[in-house]
Structure 1
Amino acid sequence: MHESINEQQCIWKSGLVLSKDETKAEVIEYYGKREIKIRVSGRHKRDLMTIVTHELDKIHDSYQRLKYNKLIPCNCVTCKDSQEPHFYKLENLRNRLAKQKYDVECDLSLD
């Protein structure tokens, strides 16, 4: 995705900022924690997030035994502005949607 690097200069050792269609995504690797965090802002957040996660999936799929979880932060009042929100596994949220279970309780705030 090198062509989408913001102003072709927003890149550093452990991350970068991508820019596409009035939307920006910050992608940072936390090597010691074995995490990659993505933050998206702008008009077309979902579109850019889909592109970034698709590219990460292609990288992950090239390693046969690699196991990983996609985590989605909670958006309750307590977690929304927290530096350490509760996270849900994406596969669990998708399973709930398929079963038409639209309410999920936060483990931190119990909301």
Structure 2
Amino acid sequence: VVKRDLEERNRDLHKERMRMENMIRHEENYQSKQKLLTNSYEELSKELESLKKKVSELECERDELQKRNQPSSDTNQVQSFLETNNHVLQEVTSLKSTIEQLQQQL
């Protein structure tokens, strides 16, 4: 009877140990994912700041070109800058969305 009780207790302890080890693995996995998301968020934030700076520079260039109001060759140049500016703005919007998603995941 004592031997049976010991074996049963040993099985219970083994099950509990396995459960705890599994919980530890899940926690480590969670922490790893959280660190990865944090790093991604930081990288995207830096990229967003860089793109904002580029947008600002492009807007200044566009404004200068518009002030000059030069012949059509410059109009084409302004159009090109505007298209580039729009593209960068779309990238910024996309990055903002990605950052918001990452924040929600954190």
**Shorter-chain TM-score category?**
under 0.3
TM-score w.r.t. length of structure 1: 0.24
User: Which one has a larger percent strand, Structure 1 or Structure 2?
Assistant: 1
TM-score (norm 2): 0.25
Between structure 1 and structure 2, the one with the greater Rg is: 2
